[in-house]
Amino acid sequence: MNKILITGANGQIGTELTVALRERYGSNQVIGSDIKRPVANHDHTFQVLDVLNKTAIQALVQDEGITEIYHLAASLSAVAEKQPLRAWELNMQGLLNVLDTAKIDQLKVFWPSSIAVFGDHAPKAFCSQHTITQPRTVYGISKAAGENWCRYYYDNYGVDVRSIRYPGLISHTAQPGGGTTDYAVEIFHQAIKNRQYTCYLKPHTTLPMMYMADAVRATLELMEAPSLGLTVRTSYNVAAMSFSPGELEAAIRKHLPAFRADYRPDFRQTIADSWPTGINDHQARHDWSWMPRYDLPDMVNDMLVRLRQEKDLR
Ligand code: AKB
């Protein structure tokens, strides 16, 4: 029976992945962990865990009989640029601690990479699986190095580590924490509350994006795919939709005609400009039958319906 540990369980992906994994494998089989216990968390299986403490990870794995780790704890692109060396340590050493633990106990590992591995020299519009990765951000550098470490542990120690290069993720449940694509969540909250949003990217900045329901399903499908069919042990490109802030503003305005956005680009514009505008996910579709379900109109519709229900926002 699988016994799963999630690091960074309080984050944007972790919040929804924990629920999905519990539905799949049962509540007692999935332990959420994070650096702090959230104030209103009454989850009896939750563990406080610092991923920089390898001894603590190994003790938890032993005590709980863990067989799989979803290692999500990381600093995202915008916040990492403010403290590059701290972000490097968290993103790199945290991953190495998890991979080394997995090597000893032959655990299966999921680790998220990102479209941030690509830089100015990668194809812009339909960025291929195997291409130049020369990222500009410390977050991207840590993800590119991490992908290679994943393959190293697979090749040399047989660790069954699987990974996805997530695009910007949009969720009605959890707020993102310090990424360049966060605007695509903030805009919904502001549109409903104030009918106004000031965006930190220019209106024509197109980026690859995905609705969280698709991202969670992609993660589960990759982890359940037969190992033999997987040809990529660095990280898989996945795609669902690409849009700019201006296009998202227009899509929201179809539901909320009074909504307006204005644009005041900050340092995140340079990060966004270095990323691709679209992703070629042919390999994921071929190897484990990946297929997105949400496009821009479906995602906008679902976000608005659910945010209004959940937060009782009009
Ligand atoms: C970020 O903006 O940093 C993340 C990502 C694309 O990995 N959402």
Active site residues: 139
pLDDT (tens digit, 9 = 90+) per residue, 11-31? Answer: 999 999 999 999 999 999 999
What is the model's pLDDT at position 94? 98
Using a 6 Å cutoff on CB, does residue 181 contact ligand 1? yes
What angle (nearest 5°) sits at the alpha carbon of residue 212, between those of residues 209 and 213? 125
Tell me which residue has its CA closest to atom 8 in ligand 1.
168
- Mean pLDDT taken over the chain: 96
Task: Give the pLDDT confidence score for residue 91 in this predicted structure.
Answer: 98
Residue 87 in contact with ligand 1 by CB distance below 6 A: no
Break the chain into its structural domains and give their ranges. 4-168+211-223+230-237, 170-207+240-313
DSSP state of 238: -
181's tokens: 């694509």
pLDDT value of residue 110: 98
In whole angstroms, give the CA distance from residue 68 to residue 70: 7
Provide the CATH number for the domain formed by 170-207+240-313 in this structure: 3.90.25.10
For ligand 1, whether the C-beta of 77 sits within 6 Å is: yes
Please give the distance, rounded to the nearest whole angstrom, from the Cα atom of residue 77 to the centre of ligand 1: 6
Instruction: State the Rg of the chain over Cα.
Output: 19
Q: Which atom of ligand 1 is nearest to the CA of 169?
A: 8
C-alpha 169 to ligand 1 mean position (Å): 8
* pLDDT for res 44: 82
Instruction: State both tokens at 221.
Output: 């499908």
Q: Fold for 4-168+211-223+230-237, please state it.
A: Rossmann fold (3.40.50)
pLDDT at position 132 is: 95
Q: Ligand 1: which residue has its CA nearest to atom 4?
A: 179
Task: Answer for the pair 71, 61: CB distance below 8 angstroms, yes or no.
Answer: no
Q: 117 CB less than 6 Å from ligand 1?
A: no
**pLDDT tens sequence across 163-219:** 999 999 999 998 888 999 999 999 999 999 999 999 999 999 999 999 999 999 999
Kindly tell me if the per-residue pLDDT of 235 is higher than 80.
yes
Nearest to 82 by CA among 188, 203, 224, 177: 177
Q: Transcribe 20-60 into DSSP letters.
A: HHHHHH-GGGEEEEESS--TT---TT-EE--TT-HHHHHHH
State how far the Cα of 20 lies from the Cα of 38, in Å rounded to an integer: 19
C-alpha span between 184 and 171 (Å, rounded): 9
Task: Report CA(209)–ligand 1 centroid distance (Å).
Answer: 9
Helix, strand, or coil (residue 5): strand
CA atoms of 54 and 137, how far apart (whole Å): 26
First to last CA, the chain: 44
> Ligand 1: does its nearest atom lie under 6 Å from the Cβ of 209?
no
Task: Tell how far the Cα of 132 is from the centroid of ligand 1, in angstroms.
Answer: 19
pLDDT, tens digit (0-9, with 9 covering 90-100), for 23-78 = 999 999 999 999 998 777 677 889 999 999 999 999 999 999 999 999 999 999 99
The answer, yes or no, to whether residue 243 has pLDDT greater than 70, is yes
Dihedral sign for Cα 21, 25, 26, 31, please: negative
Is 279 in contact with 126 (CB distance < 8 Å)? Answer: yes
Helix axes 183-194, 245-253, angle to 10 degrees: 30
For ligand 1, what atom is nearest to the CA of residue 78? 3
Q: What is the pLDDT of residues 83-135, one digit of tens each?
A: 999 999 999 999 999 999 999 999 999 999 999 999 999 999 999 999 999 99
Residue 313 has pLDDT above 60, yes or no: no
Degrees, nearest 5: CA angle 222-225-229 = 110
Query: What does the DSSP assignment read for 168-215?
Result: EEE-SSS---S-SSTHHHHHHHHHHHHSEEEESS-TT--EEEEEHHHH
115 lines ligand 1 (CB under 6 A): yes
Residue 202's closest CA among 139, 269, 126, 149?
269
- Closest CA to ligand 1's atom 6: 168
